[in-house]
Amino acid sequence: MKWITREKPKIDRIACPWLIKKYIDSDAEFIFVPFDAVIQQAEAIGAIPFDVPNVELSHQLGLCTFDCLIEKYNIDDEAVHTMAVIVRGADTDRHDIAPQSAGLWAIASGMAHNIQDDHELLKQGMVIYDGLYSWAKYLQSVKHFQNPFENLLVDVFQKVFHPATKSNRKTPVWAKELKDIIQDQIDTNLTLSLKEISKELDVNPAYLSREFSKYFENLSFGEYIRKLRIEKAIELLSSTNHSLTEIAYLTGFSDQSHFTRIFKKYTGENPSVFKKNITKSKFDTKS
């Protein structure tokens, strides 16, 4: 089958062909044309258009085309779902939702600058996404320093050159203000981003991203926000009769499926099971 999209691909228009080849159409042929020619050419040659406005396979409600392909073709692979968040963050300039998103954007934009031929860029990009998939599938828990001697050197370096500990490190003003902003907006701003907050604080977003974990439980911004939203979800599951879909929306997740995956990752249980256990516990207490 022929698939057609805009020329000069970077993130989504490389990630989507990788996904299509791997899970949807192994014989897929990809065609890149100028933006204003995609729909006309698609109709002329019977190709499936993607990642352009007003077609089925394109950005929707904060999701990118990679997400839409996963949903339409029911791709049930945890590694691909992990990749989806990274791709979405890189493609929508929301580098706070996954720490790898900024790196993926940097690599993709650099490759697009160096390689002018779209099909050669796609060929090289496929290698990048093969690597990202292998990391998501097998290597997420693997650290760069595996050798005990290397770990010892890093430990010594941290103690000698960075002697400040969590207990004696003074919390900077921006971190206190940031915590207040997050607490004020977490329930109402479902697309809360570090880049957006950095403007309010008048602090460089790259600096905030780098320093954030030091003052927020050793978590990245995205991890910290997800933790707060899971805690809010637990509160709603315990005290309301909202459906899982409603709770997913109220706590800022893209859909119930995304909410369920993250909730299970943090608690070890599906939210439906968690709610049943709470209900049973309340019943047992009354009886």
Domain ranges of the chain: 2-139, 224-286
> Per residue in 82-93, pLDDT tens?
999 999 999 988
CATH of domain 224-286: 1.10.10.60
pLDDT at 73 over 80: yes
Q: Would you state the pLDDT for residue 98? A: 87
Residue 162: per-residue pLDDT: 56
Q: What is the pLDDT of residue 150?
A: 60
Q: What is the mean pLDDT of residues 182-200?
A: 80
pLDDT band at 173 (very low <50, low <70, confident <90, very high): confident
Binned at pLDDT 50, 70 and 90, residue 149 comes out as low
> Mean pLDDT throughout 187-209?
79
pLDDT band at 155 (very low <50, low <70, confident <90, very high): low
pLDDT of residue 142 exceeding 80, the answer is: no
Could you tell me the pLDDT band of residue 185, with boundaries at 50, 70 and 90? confident
At residue 256, the pLDDT reads 87
- Ranked by mean pLDDT, the top range of 67-76, 94-103, 154-163 is 67-76
Query: Residue by residue, what is the 3-state secondary structure of the chain?
Result: CEEEEECCCCCHHHHHHHHHHHHHCCCCEEEEECHHHHHHHHHHHCCEECCCCCCCCCCECCECHHHHHHHHCCCCCHHHHHHHHHHHHHHCCCCCCCCCHHHHHHHHHHHHHHCCCHHHHHHHHHHHHHHHHHHHHHHCCCCCCCCHHHHHHHHHHHHHHCCCCCCCCCCCHHHHHHHHHHHHHCCCCCCCCHHHHHHHHCCCHHHHHHHHHHHCCCCCHHHHHHHHHHHHHHHHHHHCCCCHHHHHHHCCCCCHHHHHHHHHHHHCCCHHHHHHHHHHHHHHHHC
pLDDT (average), residues 29-48: 97
